[in-house]
Amino acid sequence: MNPVTRDSRYLDKSSTSAVKSSQPIALAAATLMVLVAGTGGIALWRAYGGTPSEAERGAVTRQLQARTVQASEQLVEKTKGLEATQQESIDQLQMVQEQLQSMRRLLAAQQADTKRLSDQVSTLKDSIEGLRQSFASTQASESASPAPRNGSIRTRAHATRSANRHRRSRS
């Protein structure tokens, strides 16, 4: 064997073993860097926006509960206000209904009075018409045959008036 080839073999073996022996160190260094970067990333994530700590979660929960209680109280107050408004509306509606019934009774009474008065007016008209007819028939019968009694009544009335005038003038 040639000494040169021996040395080249040795060189080949030593360079291969140097590469082989440096790979685990590089691999360990790369793994260490990945672990450090991951740990740093997790720390940053937790610090700036990741999962909050137990105390932070408790504070957020208490805030949410306080808001919920406040919203519930507001809803209860609004509900009570609506109930009061609704009761007022019901009371007003009942008052209006009572007034309407009263107005209906008054209207019915007025209509009954109007009908009664209308009937009375009709009766009076009929009576007046009967009197007119009676008067017309009496006038017709008197003008057809003048009664001697009318003349004597007229004479007596004239004499009575004259006597009254005469007495007044003496006093």
pLDDT in tens, 137-146: 888 787 766 5
DSSP code at position 145:
S
- Asked if 44 and 51 count as a contact pair (C-beta separation under 8 A), the reply is no
- The C-alpha atoms of residue 129 and residue 168 are separated, in whole angstroms, by 42
Domain boundaries of the chain, sorted by first residue: 1-49, 65-111
- Helix H, strand E, coil C: the string for 28-72 is HHHHHHHHHHHHHHHHHHHHHCCCCCHHHHHHHHHHHHHHHHHHH
- The C-alpha atoms of residue 128 and residue 135 are separated, in whole angstroms, by 10
The pLDDT of residue 47 is 72
- The C-alpha atoms of residue 116 and residue 20 are separated, in whole angstroms, by 132
Is 0.85 surpassed by the pTM of this model? no
Percent of residues in the chain assigned helix, strand, coil, to nearest 5: 95, 0, 5
The pLDDT of residue 42 is 84
The pLDDT of residue 56 is 76
Which pLDDT tens digit goes with each residue over 33-71? 999 999 988 888 777 765 566 777 788 889 999 999 999
Q: List the structure tokens of 10.
A: 């040795």
Mapping DSSP to helix (H, G, I), strand (E, B) and coil, where does residue 78 land?
helix
CB atoms within 10 A of CB 157: 10
Mapping DSSP to helix (H, G, I), strand (E, B) and coil, where does residue 1 land?
coil
Show the low-confidence residues of the chain (pLDDT under 50): 4, 6
The pLDDT of residue 118 is 96
Amino acid identity at 57: R
Amino acid identity at 145: S
The pLDDT of residue 148 is 53
The pLDDT of residue 146 is 54
